[in-house]
């Protein structure tokens, strides 16, 4: 089998890793083995972080909706059940924006949800 020297390929691979690990502490930005480990671990954290961000935002939306619904005399679950029965098809993100920025519009939706849920 012929010998392969890998000169430019190896250098390009290392340069890519150096860019990824620039600013890391001590050997994680200097030595190839540790650069590779640090970059792999960073990738794992980044992947998990993208999933976590979705959970965090949904949690924030639920908190906002719950706080606004309680101002109108309902719990979150009763409010969500009411808007489902009323046929209002707004997602949690939209509802939380209304709760935070447009209280009058949210009050209107809350009144419809109350009527659909059968709360006096």
Please tell me the predicted confidence (pLDDT) of residue 120.
66
Please tell me the predicted confidence (pLDDT) of residue 21.
96
pLDDT bracket for residue 118 (50, 70, 90): confident
The sign of the CA dihedral 99, 104, 107, 111 is negative
Please tell me the predicted confidence (pLDDT) of residue 1.
83
Q: Kindly list the structural domains of the chain, giving each domain's residue range(s) and its CATH number in brackets, ordered by start.
A: 7-117 (1.10.1900.20)
- For residues 7 and 111, which has the higher predicted lDDT (pLDDT)? 111
Please tell me the predicted confidence (pLDDT) of residue 4.
83
pLDDT tens-digit profile of 63-106? 999 999 999 999 999 999 999 999 999 999 999 999 999 999 99
Mean local confidence (pLDDT), 112-117: 94
Please tell me the predicted confidence (pLDDT) of residue 28.
95
Q: Hey, how many other C-beta atoms are within 10 angstroms of the C-beta on 114?
A: 19
pLDDT tens-digit profile of 11-35? 999 999 999 999 999 999 999 999 9
Residues 6+ away with beta carbon under 8 Å from 18: 29, 35
Q: Which two tokens stand for residue 5?
A: 């020297």
Q: How far is CA 91 from CA 44, 97, 101, in A?
A: 30, 10, 16
pLDDT tens-digit profile of 33-56? 999 999 999 999 999 999 999 999
């Amino acid at each position: 089998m012929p010998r392969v020297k890998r000169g430019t390929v190896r250098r390009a691979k290392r340069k890519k890793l150096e860019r990824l690990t620039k600013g890391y502490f001590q050997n994680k930005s200097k030595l190839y083995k540790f650069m590779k480990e640090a970059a792999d671990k960073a990738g794992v954290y980044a992947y998990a972080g993208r999933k976590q961000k979705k959970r965090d935002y949904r949690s924030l939306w639920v908190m906002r909706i719950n706080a606004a619904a309680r101002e109108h005399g309902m719990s979150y679950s009763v409010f969500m059940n009411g808007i489902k029965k009323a046929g209002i098809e707004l997602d949690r993100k939209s509802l939380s924006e209304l709760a935070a920025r447009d209280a009058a519009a949210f009050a209107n939706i809350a009144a419809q949800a109350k009527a659909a849920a059968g709360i006096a």
